Amino acid sequence: MSAQLISDFWAAMGTNDFGHASTFLHAQYEYFMPQTGEYLRGRDAFAALNSGFPAEGLWQFNVVRLVAGDHDAVSDVEVSDGTRHDRAVTFHTIEDGLIRRQVEYWPDPYPAPAWRAPFVTVLDKPPF
């Protein structure tokens, strides 16, 4: 059930109608980004944040991986507006059949440290 909810949520995000995407959120929705400390509450705030984000084109969301239990899920999603290419790792808490909380990480890529070169191969995509 939660896997379908999260899949449907990301599909709704892909329409770029963030008001519609917010219908997958609980009335008491909470969102937190640990890297910046930003916190918001409510569907309207979610829709406003996503609608106000500067973009070069329509946002596209590609779910790379989704792991889900009965009341929680984790998604790894590629996000792009055609110019930006980002990654979001989101921990979702499900309550009453809707997304109650999201904790979202936006990791920036960085070069592999030189000291690890003898031990690893650097790839653009996972080999599995």
Domains of the chain: 2-116 (3.10.450.50)
How far apart are the C-alpha atoms of 62 and 83, rounded to whole Å? 15
Report whether 5 contacts 23 (CB < 8 A): no
pTM above 0.85, yes or no: yes
Which tens digit of pLDDT belongs to each residue from 44-85? 999 999 999 999 999 999 999 999 999 999 999 999 999 999
Q: Which of 87, 83, 90 is nearest to 125 (CA)?
A: 87
Report whether 21 contacts 7 (CB < 8 A): no
How far apart are the C-alpha atoms of 100 and 41, rounded to whole Å? 10
